[in-house]
Structure 1
Amino acid sequence: MVDLEKAPGAARPGETAQQAGQGEPARRADAEGCLAVAIRIPVRIVVLVLVVPVRMVWDALVVAGRFLRDTVLRPVGRALAWLGRALFVWPLVGLWRYVLVPLAKGVGWLGHVLLVVPAAWLYRWVLTPVGHGLAWFLTRVGAVLAAIGRGLYAGLAWLGRYLLVVPAGWLYRWLLTPVGHGLAWCGRGLVWCGRQVARGAGLVVTGIGFVLYWTVRVLLVLPALAVWRWVLAPLGRVLAVVGREVADALGHAWRIAGHLSLAVGRFLGTLLRWTVAEPARWAYRSVLTPVGHAVRDTVLRPLAEAGRGAGRATRQALATARLTVRQARADVRRMLFGEPAEPNPVDRREPSAVEARTLGSSTTALTKD
């Protein structure tokens, strides 16, 4: 019998082996071991139980801190800033602007008048001529001293050549050079002997070092390598898995605790709203507002109207009293000093209505005969 069923890994006609294998689920390269799976659930449960109270306390502290910042710390800070400006900044600015700056300008002007101007005058009319004179004198004296110095230098150079240089050259050529060649030959012999001794000592040290190397390798390095490979490395991998799972559990627990804290906060907010805010709003809207309007319409508004009427009457009485006093004072002045003299009219040289020039009249410069 012919098997018509297709094998799981077999390719259909017209398909390649790569296309046929795409239907199988790909295997993760970083597949987790049984240790990570076994540790994950208990660790996450324990961490969640420990983190939820901490997160709720943290969120409560954050809310309390924001409320304290907005209601207490910020106004107190603004008041302290204003008080600091009023007590320190503004007095210092006034002291700087109205005391120190004018005083410094006065001291600067006084120093300029008492020090700078006399110093400039002294430099221009006293020190500069004296300096030019000293420079001229020193130039002449220097020329004379330079001529004398050149003569002395030539004499001393001749004496030094024949008293020091020529004997030193003879001593170097006929005495020091042969002695130096002899010492150099002796030194080369000593260097050859030292090289032979050093080569022998190097062979001895190399042998000792080879023995010590293998001794240390066998006694220390190989056991330490075995302990690292078979004990510390597996233990480190286990601790790394445990630490990673604990860190992941802390992250998940912190996020879950945040959601729980948000839900609890919303529940408490809704509870406060329906137990405190809504009754207070209903009492304000349904009780206090009508009572306030009634008090305003029946008591406060009539009192305000009466107060405004009394104010108007008082102002009218005061105006009448001022007018009466002014008229009485004018009558007394008239009885004592007589009527005031009429002021003479001032000619402002303005044309009257009849004499004013217009474009249609015949008195303009263009139409006048």
Structure 2
Amino acid sequence: MPQLTTNRFADRALDLVHSALNSRLAAALTYPHGVDRYVEQFAPTFALREVRAEVIATRHQTADSVTLTLRPNRNWQGFAAGQYVRLTVEINGVRRTRCYSPANSVHAKDGLIELTVKAHGDGFVSKHLKLDLRVGTTVFLSQAEGQFALPEQRPDRILLISGGSGITPVMSMLRTLCDEGHKGKITFLHYSNAASDQIYLDELAMINAQFLNVELLRAYNEDQSGELQGLFSREQLIKAVPDYADAQAFLCGPPGMMKVVQKVWADEGLSDQLHLEHFTAAPVVIDSANAEGEVRFIRSERLAKNSGATLLDQAEAAGLKPESGCRMGICKACTCIKTAGKVRDTRTGEISDAGEAEIQICVSVPVGTVTLDI
């Protein structure tokens, strides 16, 4: 009871401080930089509205991954199992944003966030997170986003399918269901190159042993230590999960694998029972031979011949450094004003009108001459 009373007083004190710093007087005294800029000098994670978090632990489950434990500030509103956040880190004075899914249960009582990141060979941000991010560093987060999530009414039969680092959102789903004491059958089907590459290998084995309603199926392409071997196929699915048509399936993994899984469900008329998430950009075909017009960067007073690439790539080729993040149309960090001209959205193929509009330049290709306020 004394500890509870102390926590209440501490929360009340924080409420009073937050209210005072959010006042008009505080805003006037700290103009033009704002309260956060001053307070962060001695309390880096403090912000009136922005979600910031302190890195309190890092661990390496595999040779090419890092698991970050983050303590968010009081602005964090939580998440649904399966959703993602936009993580922003500062690297050499430039803020970079990428999307990652929390892997912890939504019922974790410590209020922490767990992100597991696989460092790809050409992954500028992921390699920084694995090699250079230190305990004590402050990072920036969005609130949780995305429609890929467990429904509030939990399905009786659940099939979780993941590949590689796509395990993180479905791991959150599994941990959440276990914390809730879910009684329905859960099959966890995961694909990796080898056991040494699998994230959460030991914990999954423990969950499988502890919860009788959880079936763990691990498929490896390079060794035979899993319950299955090789890549996903319809034949393998029928043999390993014969009742898959009765399940609500949740899928996250590399594009090639996801495409094969989607086709199986589509061919059998089960697409409504397959829920999926991925953060891979659609490939951009650069058609320089048929590209016409030019790209005008009016604020920078620069002009470039349209190369057929995305506007972000063309801006960088022109020597500009517009803000960007995920480079796949998710984080919206690259949004800017198109003052004139038409653009094609690389994700949908849709062509905009020629008037002024906000566009995401990482997924926009100019159709003729385009003018940007950059």
TM-score higher than 0.5 here? no
Bigger strand share: 2
Which structure's CA Rg is the greater one? 1
Q: Which protein, 1 or 2, shows the higher relative CO under an 8 Å CA cutoff with sep ≥ 6? A: 1
